[in-house]
Structure 1
């Protein structure tokens, strides 16, 4: 019975995590004065480049910006599963 309910209502967790990610991107935009579209494009391009060399956990990937007085720092937390042996 529990499995059935988990499957039936399990989609909420995915929606919840997507909403959380969107909110996080909006907060990043506010902190770094970057458009959400630019932040998302940057994240996708980082994933493309990094996955040439490493197998990563994309679900656990976090990209943040830390805004100082006169600069902005990109902070990426990328869970690495393994190193690819035959990188292009």
Structure 2
């Protein structure tokens, strides 16, 4: 208890509140920045398909992507069924 009074007198609790607010603002800004239009998500899906199809056999119509948001994070979720591996020439 004495420790908490010392922290309060030093203003350390106010610092913690400031940090909490700062982190909440970062989460809100990250959420706002990820308001992705369907057109941009489709373009991203196409780019990922082209990159991944260099190494794996996949069907574009089977690729599914979406943006998942939680209180603390934003994630790009991709489900890409792989049919097989492409043969690479030995260098």
Same fold (TM over 0.5): yes
Flag structure 1 segments of 5+ consecutive residues without an equivalent: 1-31
Deviations 1:30-71 (A, max 9, x none): xx5111221111000000100000000222111111111132
SS in 1 for 2:83: strand
**Which digits, 9 at most, give the CA deviation of each residue in 1:12-40, with x for residues without a partner?**
xxxxxxxxxxxxxxxxxxxx511122111
Match of 1:51 in 2: 53
Structure 2 counterpart of 1:62, from 58, 61, 64: 64
Runs of 4+ in 1 over 6 A off after TM superposition: none
CA RMSD of aligned residues (A): 1.5
Q: Which residue of 2 aligns with 1:29?
A: none
Q: TM-score, normalised by structure 2?
A: 0.55
Q: Normalized against structure 1, the TM-score is what?
A: 0.57
What's the counterpart of residue 78 of structure 2? 76
In the comparison of the two structures, how many residue pairs are matched? 56
